[in-house]
Amino acid sequence: VFHSGALTYRADTQDFLAVVPMAGADGNYSIEVVASDGVKQDVYVDTMTVIEEINFQIDSDKEVYLRGEQVEITGSLTRLSGDPIANEKVMLMVSKGEPDDLGIVSTSTLFDPSTRMFERYTDATGPLGDAFAPAYGDAGTFTVDAFLIADLVGTSGQTSFTILAVDVTPARTAVTTVKNSTYSKVLTIENIGDRTLQGVSLQLIDSETGDNVSASLVQSVPAQLAAGARYPVTLNVVIPENAPDSALFYIKVTTAEGLVQQAYVRFTLKAAQPLPRLTPQVVDVGVKPGGLLARQVVVLNDGLGTMAGITLVAPPSLPWVSALNLAATSLAPGATTTFDVIVKPDASVQPGI
């Protein structure tokens, strides 16, 4: 019998009261109350459970982390007497969001697929330690809840930490295009965390500074990038005709907190090809045998490559038709030149089409 004694009657509330000292007690107990007037008696029986309060301290090694850093979680479990709770299983739960003021974990948090749970054991002297590696996309405030997996213990631990992260999207771009052209690409700079980032700087890096492919960024980002803010920037690239066969540019973002994030645009460059166009494409003439007629033809380079080594070849089946007076033997893209088609049939040529 843990305790036995008479109940005290309180006239003001018409209640019977007993004070049972339970300090240091835990476990399941049965209560039996016997009421009697000397003739009859009645017995009331109930059960109760006394859970033990413990000191549960949990913390992370830092309050704020940069993307890619490991979170060190440490804790200490002791009884109110100061004795350690050794070799006991502890459930650690890392969830997105601010901690609850009352330390209560909601049902939605428990069943959220992004919530991560781990089982660890205290060591022989009570301390608890674990290393949490955040996923690449983790950013913002996270709460760590810890629960001792043991009967008759009623205290849990809670702490929180924040991960800072900035994204540049798309992170990787591969482009195949022709030389003697331009290229534009819009990238987005985004603060995916829930704290304002300070000292934000944007830098364009040419990995091959000796080549003739040039690039520039249009627009910029503010020095303070608010939580959730997104800013588009445009990468413009100029690729000359004599460019190398590849080029690579990095777009790098840094912050005063120490964040470094970058994306790249990689180019595979194909030789630019010329494309000749003649105007007119068909020369219609009418001339008598022994006569002469001349028509001018315009040559346009409608391609992206230089047209070099231009020559004129007369039709071998019509010896009285010739192409003469070519004004240029090389044409840059978009340039034109002319030549003459001379039709001069001999008097012996039979009329016809």
pLDDT score for 56: 81
User: What is the per-residue DSSP string for 171-194?
Assistant: SEEEEEEESSEEEEEEEEEEE-SS
Under 8 Å between Cβ of 85 and 54: yes
Give every CB contact of residue 189 below 8 A, 6+ residues apart in sequence: 166, 167, 168, 200, 202, 221, 225, 230, 231, 232, 233, 253
CA distance 67 to 162: 10
What pLDDT is stored for residue 2 in this prediction? Answer: 67
Name the H helices within 93-188: 107-110
Q: Residue 155: its pLDDT value, please?
A: 61
- Is the separation of the CB atoms in 265 and 235 below 8 Å? yes
Q: What is the pLDDT of residue 130?
A: 83
pLDDT (tens digit, 0 to 9) for every residue of the chain, 353 residues total? 566 778 888 888 888 888 777 666 666 677 888 888 778 888 888 876 665 677 788 899 999 999 999 999 988 888 777 788 888 888 888 999 888 776 667 777 878 888 998 888 888 777 788 888 999 999 999 999 888 776 545 567 788 999 999 999 999 999 999 999 999 999 999 999 999 999 999 999 999 888 999 999 998 899 999 999 999 999 999 999 999 999 999 999 999 999 999 999 999 999 999 999 999 988 888 888 888 889 999 999 999 999 999 999 988 888 889 999 999 999 999 999 999 999 998 888 877 65
Q: Are 108 and 115 in contact (CB under 8 A)?
A: no
Strand partners, 164: 66
Query: From the CB of residue 112, how many other CB atoms can be counted at a distance below 10 Å?
Result: 13
CA distance 30 to 1: 10
Which of 270, 267, 269, 271 lies closest to 174 in space, CA to CA?
267
Comparing C-alpha atoms, which of 50, 16, 12 is closest to residue 30?
50
DSSP 9-70: EETTTTEEE-----TT--EEEEEEEEEE-SS-EEEEEEEEEEPBPEEEEEEES-SEEETTPP
Peptide linkage before 170 cis (omega within 30 of 0): yes
Query: What's the CA gap between 71 and 68, in Å, rounded?
Result: 10
Task: Number of helices (H) and strands (E) in the chain: give both, helices first.
Answer: 1, 24
CA-to-CA distance for 236 and 213, rounded, in angstroms? 11
Question: How many whole angstroms separate alpha carbon 132 and alpha carbon 144?
Answer: 10
Q: What is the pTM of this model?
A: 0.69
> Running DSSP on this structure, what letter comes out for residue 106?
P
> By the 8 A CB rule, do 23 and 124 touch?
no
Between CA 312 and CA 322 the distance in angstroms is 9
pLDDT at 210: 87
Q: Which two tokens stand for residue 281?
A: 């494409």
